[in-house]
Amino acid sequence: MTGRAGRAGAQAGAGDLLQLVRSGRATTRGALQQATGLSRATVGQRLDRLFRAGWLREGAGGPVGSPLGGRPSITLEFDDAHAVVLAADLDTRHARAGVLSLSGEILAERAGTLVVEDGPETVLGELGVWFAGLLEKAGHRAHEVCGIGLAVPGPVDSDTGRVVQPPIMPGWDGYDIRGRLRRAFAEHAHGAADVPVLVDNDANLMAYGEQRTGHPDCSAFVLVKVSTGIGAGVVVGGRVYRGIDGGAGDIGHIRVPGGAGALCRCGSYGCLAAVASGGAVARRLAEAGVPAASGSDVRDLLAAGHPEAVALAREAGRQVGDVLATVVTLLNPGVLMIAGDLAGTHFLTGVRELLYQRALPRSTAHLDVVTSRLGERSGLVGAGASVVEYLYAPERAEERLLALGV
């Protein structure tokens, strides 16, 4: 067993017990005693704090453990109704926001146009308006919100929550996103508390949401988002791998053969995103006289079976698949998920063609190449889940219980 409860049972606090219950590793008082080595009285004291905070509840009785019969053990459950989470997923030209339960159920959501090029003041201010309206729609009040999660289409320093030199987010570099979104929420939602705001790259949060909901047993999971740009999220051992400063997964700026003349929005030539992203395909379609300005326009053309869009999407898939052969060889994932505007049959066919041609059979023998299960909601679900995991991790839970006076 890992975690503080496993290393030193006598030191296991209420937060450790909560984690054991939430993970399903120990869901009765007896099981908690066995997992931690704590006495019955001490377990009872720890649980009492969690009950008083409203974080735990008693569920139905479990099976009788003794062959001699007796009363069934009362199970313990995380009470996901004591608070809600706000989450939003920003793309370059549109956004999705929602109110989520602590178990990840979307209670209310809204999608619409928000243009990141309008700048953080405007975009985050509008999200504050959206959040206030969504809370009312969901029948919840601002004081019930325990945290806010935000997915953005750029690299994020996880320590500061600030984007770092984002190629497709002009005006956002180094901006205090957490502070502005917290203020915007307070301005538009009466009774809003000073809640934590977590910011991460959209591909990271999409990968986290998809892995948790659809592939929880996959210990090495990679999601590639192909929309206006291209990015990847990597989940290893149930945790997002970000690198030392949030730059992991930025495969859209790998230089590719044959792309020397393509100028990327990062200022360099020959990047994968400059030749194979939804934005790149849209540009080539526009040059051929087909109305298209973004990855979402390409998605609509693909849905309509437009022959030139289909051909370009398959070609883009081959270019991405060539790069992914290296990614798969390096990380050896069990699942490679393709998501975003181009994530359809034609693009996926192109990816598979080059991936299986270039990667060693050893790297792909146990690999599933799939498309998104959550679709456009994956970033929203991942953003909400990241907030819950942060707030109820053992150390943070202990701090919050003390602040609540329990």
Tell me: the pLDDT tens digits for 318-345?
Answer: 999 999 999 999 999 999 999 999 999 9
The total of other beta-carbon atoms located within 10 Å of residue 65's CB is: 12
The predicted model gives 57-69 an average pLDDT of: 63
Give percent above pLDDT 90 in the chain: 85
Largest distance between two CA atoms of the chain: 80
The predicted model gives 90-104 an average pLDDT of: 95
pLDDT band at 8 (very low <50, low <70, confident <90, very high): very low
The predicted model gives 124-149 an average pLDDT of: 97
- Paired with 86 in beta bridges are 99, 148
The predicted model gives 266-295 an average pLDDT of: 94
β-strands 197-201, 162-163: how paired?
unpaired
The predicted model gives 259-267 an average pLDDT of: 87
| pLDDT value of position 3 | 45
The predicted model gives 183-200 an average pLDDT of: 94
Question: Looking at the predicted structure, is the pLDDT value of residue 94 above 80?
Answer: yes
pLDDT band at 265 (very low <50, low <70, confident <90, very high): confident
Sign (positive or negative) of CA dihedral 288, 289, 295, 299: negative
* Residue 16 and residue 394 in contact, taking contact as beta carbons nearer than 8 Å: yes
Q: In this structure, which amino acid lies at residue 137? A: K
pLDDT band at 70 (very low <50, low <70, confident <90, very high): low
Question: Looking at the predicted structure, is the pLDDT value of residue 71 above 70?
Answer: no
Question: Looking at the predicted structure, is the pLDDT value of residue 258 above 90?
Answer: no
The total of other beta-carbon atoms located within 10 Å of residue 73's CB is: 16
| pLDDT value of position 11 | 81
Question: Looking at the predicted structure, is the pLDDT value of residue 4 above 50?
Answer: no
**Better pLDDT: 48 or 228:** 48
Give percent above pLDDT 70 in the chain: 95
Q: What is the number of helices (H) and of strands (E) in the chain?
A: 15, 14
- Paired with 108 in beta bridges are 99
Question: Looking at the predicted structure, is the pLDDT value of residue 62 above 60?
Answer: no
Full-model pTM: 0.92
| pLDDT value of position 117 | 94
